[in-house]
Structure 1
Amino acid sequence: MSLRHHQGLLALACASAFSAHAAPSDLKSQIDTLVKQDEAQMIAQFKQLHRNPELAFQEKETAAQVAKALQEQGFEVKTAIGTTGVVGILRNGPGPVVMYRADMDALPIKEATGLDYRSNKVTPWLDNPSQPVMHACGHDAHTTWLIEVAKVMAQLKGQWSGTLVLVAQPAEELLEGATAMVNNGLYDFSPKPDVLVAAHVSPVYPADSVGLREGPRLAGTDQIDVELPGIGGHGSTPHVTKDPVVMGAMAVMGYQTIISRMLDQSKPAVLTVGAFQAGVNNNIIPVSATLKLNLRWYDEKVRERLIAGIKSVTQGVLVMNDMPDDYQAKYTMKGYSTPVVNGKAQTELAQAALVHQLGADKVLPGVPPLMGSEDFHMLASPYPDTKVLFIEVGSGKPDAYKNLIEKKQLPPAMNHTPGFVVELPAIATGARAVSATLSAFFNQPL
């Protein structure tokens, strides 16, 4: 089926959906008008956030801006949930509780975009007192959308009924922020959500479009630190030591066989060693080494096999190096998130709303399931019946999706790279898309 044919069928299907579930006839134009009149202000807000990124659990200034903006729109606001998280509640009569989450944190990356609003910020991070920081995943755009959505939904209170909960979440990049908010009193303040929505920039779609797809969207993930013990000493006498640098190198190579030799190859999985930390000087064999691992998976049994494989390989390395039995590896389980799955009902409703708001040619078929991960849906972890939806908002060049489909060519600077750029039309597109989607969930409860 051609893309044009797909868009034609999609427009017909969504027109039928909207005729069956009559939305306010002027809602589309009102959203467009409000976002259009705020576009210059939104872009200025986005650029300000981009210049001033804050790392995970350090998002104090960003959180303060969000809290102030929500209070100005009449939201009940609570701050410092999960360290720096912000929650705003707008009660507007009977109806569903719809929660929308935006993440705020940046990444420890030195920006190389050349933008006139690029980040030159440095901040203490781990062992680096001057770590460059960059919004290399679009969370500055996400925060901008949340602020504008608060304004749009407050001004359109006559067009929907229910309770809107807006969440500005810290530490998504650590995959810890959502769980931290749940554990730190989120639901002492917020009602249980019937629907939880998140939107994320994606450079594989043009910046005036969105991607949406039913079913599995993002992989589950674990962040694991493996500390290997050693027996340190002088670099000139390695024979009287147990070198954790060598053991770490052996472990890194051994871990690669977990994917290729221990797992069913029909089931997707990724194991990445993102950091190898050991030693401080040329001639000192250290007493330990730490490997920082990232796992991605869709099947829980695959996850279990990955973790078991890591422990098996690690123990094998210790045995091969004749480590005494009282020297054991230490495993620290950190960020964790289950896979993100878009259910049929919420995907169809959102698709109809997005086609109505943006046009059928701007609602693109989502790419196949990704091995990237998110933790927004962990906000609903206490409530398994909450429906979740993940929308991809284009942030790329006009030919990005065409190049992907026809040439299998990714954009030159993807998320988490020093050259990552959110094209500015994405700012208005995201605000329009999210406002329309939230309105649909209020007006056509699932």
Structure 2
Amino acid sequence: MSKTVTAQLPEIRDELAAFYKDLHRNPELSLQETRTAGLLAKRLREAGFDEVAEGIGLTGVVGVLRNGEGPVVMLRADFDALPVEEKTGLPYASQVRGVDHEGRDVPVMHACGHDMHAVCLTGAAMLLARSRDQWRGTLLVVFQPAEELAVGARGMVDDGLFERFPKPEIVLGQHVGPLPAGVIGYGTGPVMAAADSLDLTLHGRGAHGSRPEASVDPVLMAANVVTRLQGIVAREVPPAETAVVTVGRLQAGTKDNIIPDKAELGINVRTFTPAIRDKVRNAIERIATAESQASGAAEPPEFAWTGSAPALVSDPEATQATVAAFAEHFGQQRIMPMPQVNASEDVGVFGEVLDVPTVFWFWGGLDTETVLVALQEDRLDELPSNHSPHFAPVVEPTLSTGVEALVVAALTWLADS
């Protein structure tokens, strides 16, 4: 059945490629994706979806295609960009600048492939709408904003996604990455880490740089906290478990001869199990509090846990069934198992809220010959990956593979006609 549906892909491939280049050239930051959302909604309406709604979770788009009795299957893609200056040199490279959620002027780029995600879901929606005689059930298409802030999925749920639209029995999604184009990678169980972000403020007492004895130096305090945090994974997390603690931001002071009165740290945590997640979070707060007390700070530290996403669990049984369909459609040689990925994805929120299976896979976007040469020369780490200013999937066969994978996955769970 999937071969019959995807046989129509050549008819729309050029249109989809042009759409992809347009989105890549015109990226939008999280929760600012208004132009992109309008274009996605327009294509769903043109494809004949029964219901299309915009503004779900501020900038999300939802499409419903009803086709008789049968399961409700959800296909999801994200479509926000990153504050990264593009350095790909492509003729359709982004030159866009924007204002981020903290009010800073920043360059904007689709450095994580979300433009490819959105276009592949658009293509799958078009093909499934054209082939209603091949399946039965209800297709729920969800274009989710703000994945990069880890708030988009929760925002759509809180805005009534599953009260206003049919509740799916399975959630299906995919992510492009630094694999050879045309290859599909998968895992079962926890495939991507939980993510937690913390804004930590350490309070000191300011003074002239020549009189350190009159201060409580928050810079020294912050330096000790940064160093001590590295002991959490090394000495508190069991070797068989996985965790990452990264201090990605440290800001303090305005001038070299002024000891400031506070220091701010941006901390990111990746874990795979609830127990380790709690252990690491508690350890961070314990260390910062203890350092403040040891330094004689007049005020305790402030902890603001912001973006948060659960570990992404790809349901083992549902994943095996979906991957078997991939192998039948693409051939086993294009399917490969993958290790856990320490990066995070908030798509898991949808299945977690509904207590239904999620199936999530990866597919390649790098030129195959380039990957093979890098492998032979032991240079795989030098290849551009997600969030790199040099990352941009080759259009083909990346686009066709992504469209076909979503069609195959949907048809695995929709009823036969």
Q: Deviations over 1:366-411 (max 9, x none)?
A: 2211111111020223211x11001111111214379669958345
Check conservation: 2:150, 2:309, Cα contact below 8 A: yes
Equivalent-residue separation in structure 1 for 2:181 and 2:144 (angstroms): 24
**Corresponding residue of 1:358:** 330
The partner residue of 2:340 within 359, 369, 379 is: 369
Q: Does residue 292 in structure 1 map to residue 263 in structure 2? A: no
Equivalent-residue separation in structure 2 for 1:297 and 1:408 (angstroms): 28
Check conservation: 1:98, 1:163, Cα contact below 8 A: yes
Give the 3 Å change call, closer, same or farther, for CA 80–401 of structure 1 in structure 2.
farther
**Corresponding residue of 1:79:** 54
The Cα of 1:420 is off from its aligned counterpart by 1.0
Check conservation: 1:176, 1:334, Cα contact below 8 A: no
Give the 3 Å change call, closer, same or farther, for CA 416–266 of structure 1 in structure 2.
same
Q: Could you tell me which amino acid in structure 1 is paired with residue 198 of structure 2?
A: I
SS at match of 1:381: helix
**Corresponding residue of 1:3:** none
Q: TM-score, normalised by structure 2?
A: 0.94
Equivalent-residue separation in structure 2 for 1:347 and 1:402 (angstroms): 31
**Corresponding residue of 2:234:** 260
Give the 3 Å change call, closer, same or farther, for CA 408–110 of structure 1 in structure 2.
closer
The partner residue of 2:126 within 125, 146, 151 is: 151
**Corresponding residue of 1:228:** 202
Q: Does residue 111 in structure 1 map to residue 86 in structure 2? A: yes
**Corresponding residue of 1:238:** 212
Q: Deviations over 1:166-224 (max 9, x none)?
A: 11111111111101111111122122110101110011x21122112333311112111
**Corresponding residue of 1:199:** 174
Check conservation: 2:85, 2:108, Cα contact below 8 A: yes
Q: Could you tell me which amino acid in structure 1 is paired with residue 191 of structure 2?
A: R
Check conservation: 2:17, 2:399, Cα contact below 8 A: yes
Further displaced range: 288-297 or 277-286: 277-286
The partner residue of 2:276 within 293, 302, 313 is: 302
Check conservation: 1:207, 1:424, Cα contact below 8 A: no
Check conservation: 2:293, 2:300, Cα contact below 8 A: no
Further displaced range: 431-440 or 400-409: 400-409
**Corresponding residue of 1:438:** 410
Q: Does residue 178 in structure 1 map to residue 150 in structure 2? A: no
Check conservation: 1:54, 1:106, Cα contact below 8 A: yes
Q: Does residue 423 in structure 1 map to residue 398 in structure 2? A: no
Check conservation: 2:270, 2:343, Cα contact below 8 A: yes
Q: Could you tell me which amino acid in structure 1 is paired with residue 322 of structure 2?
A: A
Q: Deviations over 1:73-127 (max 9, x none)?
A: 2221121111111111111111111111100111111111111111111111255
Identity over aligned pairs, percent: 36
Further displaced range: 343-352 or 430-439: 343-352
Check conservation: 2:97, 2:105, Cα contact below 8 A: yes
**Corresponding residue of 1:342:** 314
SS at match of 1:161: strand
Q: Does residue 131 in structure 1 map to residue 103 in structure 2? A: no
Q: Could you tell me which amino acid in structure 1 is paired with residue 56 of structure 2?
A: I
Q: Could you tell me which amino acid in structure 1 is paired with residue 253 of structure 2?
A: G
Equivalent-residue separation in structure 2 for 1:411 and 1:191 (angstroms): 44
Give the 3 Å change call, closer, same or farther, for CA 444–378 of structure 1 in structure 2.
farther
Equivalent-residue separation in structure 2 for 1:102 and 1:382 (angstroms): 18
Equivalent residues, number: 414
Equivalent-residue separation in structure 2 for 1:312 and 1:162 (angstroms): 51
SS at match of 1:152: helix
Give the 3 Å change call, closer, same or farther, for CA 241–281 of structure 1 in structure 2.
same
Equivalent-residue separation in structure 2 for 1:42 and 1:129 (angstroms): 33
Equivalent-residue separation in structure 2 for 1:180 and 1:28 (angstroms): 36
Check conservation: 1:349, 1:441, Cα contact below 8 A: no
**Corresponding residue of 1:47:** 21
SS at match of 2:353: coil
Equivalent-residue separation in structure 2 for 1:129 and 1:298 (angstroms): 32
Check conservation: 2:134, 2:416, Cα contact below 8 A: no
| Structure 2: tracts of 5 or more residues without a match | none
Give the 3 Å change call, closer, same or farther, for CA 414–157 of structure 1 in structure 2.
same
Give the 3 Å change call, closer, same or farther, for CA 129–369 of structure 1 in structure 2.
closer
SS at match of 1:41: helix
Equivalent-residue separation in structure 1 for 2:304 and 2:162 (angstroms): 28
Equivalent-residue separation in structure 2 for 1:161 and 1:126 (angstroms): 42
The partner residue of 1:57 within 13, 22, 31 is: 31
The partner residue of 2:361 within 391, 416, 421 is: 391
Give the 3 Å change call, closer, same or farther, for CA 436–161 of structure 1 in structure 2.
same
Equivalent-residue separation in structure 1 for 2:282 and 2:192 (angstroms): 23
Q: Could you tell me which amino acid in structure 2 is paired with residue 56 of structure 1?
A: S
The Cα of 1:277 is off from its aligned counterpart by 2.3
SS at match of 1:382: helix
Check conservation: 2:136, 2:416, Cα contact below 8 A: no
Equivalent-residue separation in structure 1 for 2:257 and 2:384 (angstroms): 39
SS at match of 1:90: strand
C-alpha RMSD of matched pairs (Å): 2.0
Q: TM-score, normalised by structure 1?
A: 0.88
Further displaced range: 394-403 or 44-53: 394-403
Q: Does residue 218 in structure 1 map to residue 189 in structure 2? A: no
SS at match of 2:61: strand
Check conservation: 1:404, 1:410, Cα contact below 8 A: no
Check conservation: 2:192, 2:313, Cα contact below 8 A: yes
